[in-house]
Structure 1
Amino acid sequence: MRRRQLLALTPAAALAACTAEEPSQGPGADGPGGSSDGSSDRGGAEGTSSQEPSAASSAPTTTEPPTAAERLLETLSPRELAGQLVLVGIPAGSEIPEQVLTEHHAGGIFLLQVWESAEAVDRTVARARELSRSGLPALIAVDQEGGQVRMLRGDTARKTPSAETLGEQGTEAVTEAYTSIGEDLAARGIQVAFSPVADVVDPALGDANEPVGGLDRGFGTEPEAVGECVAAATTALAAQGIGATLKHFPGLGRVQKNTDFSAEGIEDEVTGPEDPFLQSFRAGIEAGAQLVMMSSAIYPQLEAGVPAMFSAAAIQDLLRDGLGFEGLVVTDDIGAAKAVAAVPVPERATRLLEAGGDVVLTADASLTGELVDAIEGWAARSPEQEQRVRESAGRMLALKEQLGLLQG
């Protein structure tokens, strides 16, 4: 694959490989030095010199100047590269532990639990800026879907309906609600919404689907209609400068239990590479979603016994190669979630990277150092693994640049 070939290159060489202009070829050209009949074309009729430059050899080769993210990537230490691949949850009413950003250089934070004071949110966002290294600002994210899943309430954000209600009302209602969400997040200095939910709920389960149907978090049970709502939400957030996160790939609509609270009842025996329930994720990707959150559930049709967030079949083969997603792939919570409790903490980060993912989310801030240590140590073991970490850090920095956090 082209992506894998670029991993072997230095960032500067990869940039040149991606941006050099292709030589122009005239009609019937087979390549440099050849004619359409396969002859070497050394001698020209009527004394034409064979030394005259061809269109291919005279075409200029140009490269685009490096972006702010690419320039910054070249300056980061191994510790800073590793830290960019961790997002840390900060519960309402608590302070950001200083070492999360000063020592471990976490890529950013996300707001946990319910925040009802705009002043408290603003203070936390400002503190994240103060603790971050100059020129390497923290990304700020929050779960803000509407309905029951709204971390910002009170005077921090307006109330919006659940996805289930919005799905019944149609895409205009979705656009209105997610425009409101985007405006409220932008006003608080937050760049990423961990929404919209792209899961299609199995109508045979309905509310028995605890993580989505039971909480009214899904736009519906029909993939095409859900996809239209997901695209509308993604577009509305982008219009306010907010990055959308499609979740929970490849879908939680067919499991019974919530992966946050259970390691049982979280297998989806149906979803596979050609599943129509993937249509909603494809719609969100085509609408420009910049992040995808992986499910912690298990999908035997993709990779038996392996949570999707640790599965190369789910991330690399299906999401990236199959659906063409090139943005930031993040986990659901790996800090407190029961679904991954049996996995050693360091492996929760390195297995994601091995599978082709980028960033781990931990609701337990005390795990930050251990996760960053694991990523830094893993990168030091081989040039290929170091480049894998650089690739993901590059995606994080590119996202920060797209969302206006990096200086040009």
Structure 2
Amino acid sequence: MRQRVRWWSAGAGVAIVLAGLAVRSATDDGPPSTAAGASAPPSMSASVSSSPPSPPAVPACAGAVGRLSLGERAGQLLMVGTPVDRPRGLRAAVRRHHLGGVFLAGRSKRPAAALRADIAALQGDAAMPLLVALDQEGGSVQTLKGPDFPLIPSARRLGAGPKAVLRDTVRDNAGRLARVGVSVNLAPVADTVPAGLGEGNPPIGAFHREYGSDPGGVAEDVRTVVPASQGAGVLTILKHFPGLGRVRANTDTSTRAVDRTATVGDAYLEPFVAGIDAGSAGVMISSASYPRLDPEAIAAFSRPIVTGLLRDRFGYTGLIMSDDLGAAQAARAVPVGQRAVRFVRAGGDLVLTIRPQDAGPMTAALIAQARANPAFAARVDDAALHVLEAKQRAGLIRC
């Protein structure tokens, strides 16, 4: 029987032992910013030596993955939503499905102390510390408000102002989140909305979520946001790769979100490259369609986009998570469990669903596919490794 010792927290520290694994622990808008220039995607290079090749480095958390059961590994690949005003309702699912993370959904003006207590209760039910995430972008998309969480200007407004204001705003917000136990902010938005489209872009422009209409300017803002947030203790997730700024439908409410312009050399990819270069812990994959990148599947289910473009072409080695695959209309044609399987098979690591009832079908489908297919089982192990590495980077575990 696997030994499991409960982990505990004191202040900002967290400790756990798992089978010998040591763990520690507004919206006024100005004109969009403009900057010139677009950098090319980073290139991969290889060195040649006459000496025998050295053994490959073993990732720090690989041994930890090997000590998890298949069910535990599958559970680590899920981030499941729970109402921010009632997060303790997810406690049973955290225990039963070994969830990797929770997403605090909705809007709240609760005091920081109350939220901190609820997050601690969720963590107390987890054998492995949870990534705790929310949407705290600012403007219309701000989960936490009230006396302890001041209103944050929209990205469009911040992008039009001084970089120092952007940096200080993000840093202050991240510090407030870290103090209540939030370890991941699903931000920044790295999508560029063309000036001629603006609010005609339902998911981003309509809510002023973009930093600007020029990819070079957006890239500079993303370069500012990533270290400001992560330096204050909250991991960033670049979204929504490979870009939602040109679509004319919202993937949450429609199956017709299509970007027919995006290619592997698209200038609108520059902000994502900038965020990767800045060290963002994660990238979120959109659920829109990109026919010139993959005519067969939405981005979340596309191996050419997730693995071919993001992993191979851009050399990204961090955490890849999905946009919501629970309630979103863009994925409705696929059975719930298979949504998780298809995302992981495409190269994704962490499946986001805002519906708690999806945890069971998704974990069951991942386990069944891993048992039936050795290649998929290896993919599950690789995805779990990326999740654990993100937890280590958040200070939740030490491998």
TM-score, normalised to structure 2's length? 0.84
Deviation at 1:343, TM superposition (A): 1.2
Equivalence for 1:344: 335
Residue from 92, 110, 116 that aligns with 1:122:
116
Secondary structure of the structure 2 residue equivalent to 1:159: coil
Kindly indicate whether the alpha-carbon contact (under 8 Å) linking 2:319 and 2:350 is maintained by their aligned counterparts in 1. yes
Is 2:262 the partner of 1:271? yes
Within a 5 Å distance, the mapping from 1:195-206 to structure 2 comes to 195-206=187-198
Judge conservation of contact 1:227–1:284 (CA < 8 Å) in 2. yes
What does residue 160 of structure 1 align with? 152
Label 1:342 to 1:66 Cα distance change in 2 as closer, same or farther (>3 A): closer
Aligned residues: 352
Work out the CA distance in 1 between the residues paired with 2:195 and 2:327.
Answer: 29
Deviation sequence 1:81-127 (CA, Å, 0-9, x none): 00000001111322333331111001010110012112332122111
Classify 1:207/1:65 alpha carbon distance in 2 versus 1 (closer, same or farther; 3 Å): closer
Amino acid aligned to 1:228: E
The separation in 2 between residues aligned to 1:245 and 1:98, in whole angstroms, is 25
**2:355 and 2:196 mapped to 1: Cα distance?**
35
SS at match of 1:169: coil
Which residue in the other structure is 1:368 paired with?
359
Q: TM-score, normalised by structure 1?
A: 0.82
Secondary structure of 1:333's aligned partner = coil
Residues of 1 paired with 2:254 and 2:114: CA distance? 32
> 2:90–2:122: 8 Å Cα contact kept in structure 1?
no
Which consecutive residues of structure 2, in runs of 5 or more, have no partner in the other structure? 1-47
Determine the structure 2 residue equivalent to 1:99: 92
Quote the offset at 1:402 in angstroms: 1.1
Return the match for 1:132 from 94, 103, 126: 126
Amino acid at match of 2:328: A
Identity %: 37
Asked whether 1:405 is paired with 2:396, we answer yes
Tell me the distance in 2 between the aligned counterparts of 1:71 and 1:204: 51
Structure 1: which 5+ residue stretches go unaligned?
1-23, 33-55
1:285 to 276, 284, 288: 276
In 1: Cα distance, 2:224 partner to 2:261 partner: 27
TM-align CA RMSD: 2.1
Task: Choose from 305, 310, 325 the match for 1:314.
Answer: 305
- Following TM superposition, by how much is the alpha carbon of 1:155 offset from its aligned partner in structure 2, in angstroms? 3.4
Q: Supply the distance in 2 between the matched residues of 1:277 and 1:170 (Cα, whole angstroms).
A: 22
**Partner of residue 185, structure 1:** 177
Q: Report if aligned partners of 2:113, 2:180 keep a CA contact under 8 Å in 1.
A: no
1:254-305 deviation digits (Å, cap 9, x = unpaired): 00111111122x0100011000000010000000001000111000010114
Q: Aligned ranges for residues 9-408 of structure 1 at < 5 Å?
A: 30=50, 67=60, 69-94=61-86, 95-117=88-110, 118-133=112-127, 136-264=128-256, 266-407=257-398
Q: Say whether the 8 Å CA contact 1:96–1:128 is kept in structure 2.
A: no
The residue aligned with 2:24 is none
TM superposition shift of 1:352: 0.7
| Runs of 4+ with deviation above 4 angstroms | 61-66
Higher gyration radius (CA):
1
Relative distance call for 1:220 and 1:376 in structure 2 (3 A) is same
Deviation at 1:64, TM superposition (A): 6.9
